[in-house]
Structure 1
Amino acid sequence: MVLGYKAMLAEADAVVRSVSIDEMTKTFSDGDIVMVDIRDPRELERDGMIPGAFPAPRGMLEFWIDPESPYHKPRFAEGKTYVFYCASGWRSLLAAKLAQEMGLDARSMRGGFSEWKTASHPVVEMPKR
């Protein structure tokens, strides 16, 4: 049986702590939190990103988190709380679940970058490739 995306989201929502945009604006400056933008590079170039966030495309996440991978990024070995976000919150919810399963203290930001931007929070432009 194939598990549909709605079931996958419900399963992830049951085990991942999600945080609101308001919570993030109050705690983002905390040095123990890393915001992780999992949108693809085209989205970052087109829409910008949250200042100080770490860009990590969803398709590379497993490889970047795993310290045994030749693609491992040390940013994921800092022992911090990782708050994942995407455009709307669906991909980041699944990413946070995966990151939890891989041993990280992971959260998902409800509403994603779209709500962040709509609320007029700071956004930085990404250089075009």
Structure 2
Amino acid sequence: MPLKKTAAEMVADARARIEEVEITDLIAQLDDPDLVVVDIRDIRERNRGFIPGSVHAPRGMVEFWVDPDSPYHKPVFAQEGKRYVFHCASGWRSALTVATLQDMGFAAAHLREGFSPWAAKGGPVQMPEPRD
């Protein structure tokens, strides 16, 4: 059965209606105390390196963590005056995520190219602490 809409079309539709942030712009803003960078990648991806100071919110839980009425709500998403920028590896999952959050009334942007080219463009990368 053919799909009504492909994943690529969904990403394109999302990107057409959300704010996209360039890597160089996000690098320049990393010291801003009002910026919250949110990494929605799988923990296995994050374990290969992440943006220092970023919050990890797995893609499957984001809507529930953002919703103050959800039993899974996380206070990091209830901070007044903060600017939230979500990212994944390539910008596809984060585009869909931010479009969904926008539909919920939560203001956010996403990193257009994602984390994959981050280090090559000068972005700092932190490695997780080794586990025993």
- Whether the TM-score (by the shorter chain) exceeds 0.5 is yes
Instruction: Write out aligned runs for 1:18-37 (5 A).
Output: 18-37=20-39
SS in 2 for 1:114: coil
Q: How many residues in Structure 1 have an aligned counterpart in Structure 2?
A: 128
Say if 1:84 and 1:106, in contact at 8 Å, map to a contact too. Answer: yes
Specify every segment of 5 or more residues in structure 2 that has no aligned partner in the other structure, as ranges: none
Match in the other structure for 1:73: 74
- After the TM superposition, which segments of 4 or more aligned residues of structure 1 sit over 3 Å from their partners? none
CA distance in 1, matches of 2:64, 2:130: 25
SS in 2 for 1:115: coil
CA distance in 1, matches of 2:128, 2:91: 20
Specify every segment of 5 or more residues in structure 1 that has no aligned partner in the other structure, as ranges: none
Say if 2:24 and 2:121, in contact at 8 Å, map to a contact too. Answer: no
**TM-score, with structure 2 as normaliser:** 0.90
Match in the other structure for 1:61: 62
**Identical amino acids, percent of aligned pairs:** 48
SS in 2 for 1:84: strand
Structure with the larger helix share: 1
**TM-score, with structure 1 as normaliser:** 0.92
Structure with bigger gyration radius = 2
CA distance in 2, matches of 1:127, 1:71: 26
Instruction: Write out aligned runs for 1:74-113 (5 A).
Output: 74-79=75-80, 80-113=82-115
CA distance in 1, matches of 2:89, 2:116: 5
SS in 2 for 1:112: coil
CA RMSD of aligned residues (A): 1.4
The CA deviation at 1:96 is 1.1
The CA deviation at 1:127 is 3.5
Q: Deviations over 1:23-50 (max 9, x none)?
A: 10111221221100000111111x1100
Q: Which stretch of the first structure deviates more once superposed, 31-40 or 99-108?
A: 99-108
